[in-house]
Amino acid sequence: MSTAATPRSQQHLNAIHEVAPKLEDLSTKVLFGDVWERTELSKRDRSLVTIAALIAMNRVEVIPGHMKRALDNGVTKAEIGEVITHLAFYSGWPTAASAALIAHTLFESQKD
């Protein structure tokens, strides 16, 4: 699956560019252009690691976009639920509860 920016992530990159152009440049070229393209981990695995880290750090602003990317990269809704449940014991109940609400909103928005 491609790591091309979604409209929302492109909006985030544009906003970052206005404040910190070099950060946007590094995000585009290094993070998404190199790190996400490395073959040692699949994009699916990178998505699992990324959403776990973001949930643990309670980075609610960027969790939705990375959960969407995870789904696009082949992670199932059930697997996202398992990551959230597992992290409740390692990063705390509040971070897991916040992530569950974010996932619920995302999953509901994808229903036909």
Kindly report, residue by residue over 82-111, the tens digit of the pLDDT: 999 999 999 999 999 999 999 999 999 998
> Nearest Cα to 1, choosing from 57, 31, 46?
46
Buried b (16+ CB within 10 A) or exposed e, 3-40: bebeeebeebbeebeeeeeeebeebeeeebeeebeeee
Class of CATH domain 39-112: mainly alpha
Phi, then psi, of 18 in degrees rounded to 5 = -65, -30
Q: Is the pTM of this model over 0.75?
A: yes
Residue intervals of the chain classified under CATH 1.20.1290.10 are 39-112
Terminus-to-terminus CA distance in the chain, angstroms?
22
pLDDT of residue 105: 97
